[in-house]
Every structure is written in C-alpha cells, then in structure tokens.
C-alpha cells in the first residue's frame, strides 16, 4: 500500500530568525527560530548579533518528532534508554 500526504502550511517570516507556520486544521501557529548554542554559532559565523526572541529551532522540532526511545538527561542532553 502506498500512502501520500500533502502538508498545507503557510510560513510567515518575522524579524531575525523568527518564523511562524500556520498548519491547516490547527488554530495556533508554530513558532520557529533559534536559541542558545545555535544562536551563538550563527552570531560567530556572521560576526553580528542576531536579534529577536528565542524560539525552538527547526532541528528541535525534527528531533522531537522522531524521539523514540530517548530521555532527557542532565542539561537537556539526550540518552538512549
């Protein structure tokens, strides 16, 4: 059996790295951005401060979406159970 799904998403860019995604069928938008070490990395890479509020990065959502068999350890590090 073959399954196919098409996401219906509208993405809006805001100041800095902040974006919101509105997903068909959900009332609340999903906020994306950068934070912590990711923000520091890009500030060093581009040699400038990155303004705006901190939000989870796209990578955070990807890891959370496939997070099977892991638990958070000290300081948020991931460990296989």
* pLDDT mean over 11-38: 94
pLDDT of 49-58, one tens digit each?
A: 888 889 999 9
Q: What gap in Å lies between CA 22 and CA 36, rounded to an integer?
A: 25
pLDDT of 14-24, one tens digit each?
A: 988 899 999 99
Percent of the chain topping pLDDT 90: 54
Whether the predicted pLDDT of 79 surpasses 80? no
């Amino acid at each position: 059996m073959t399954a196919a799904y098409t996401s219906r998403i509208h993405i809006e860019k805001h100041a800095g790295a902040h974006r919101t995604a509105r997903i068909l069928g959900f009332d609340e938008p999903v906020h994306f951005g950068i934070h912590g070490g990711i923000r520091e990395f890009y500030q060093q890479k581009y040699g400038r401060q990155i303004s705006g509020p901190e939000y989870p990065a796209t990578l955070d959502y990807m890891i959370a979406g496939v997070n099977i068999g892991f638990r958070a350890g000290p300081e948020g590090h991931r460990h296989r159970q």
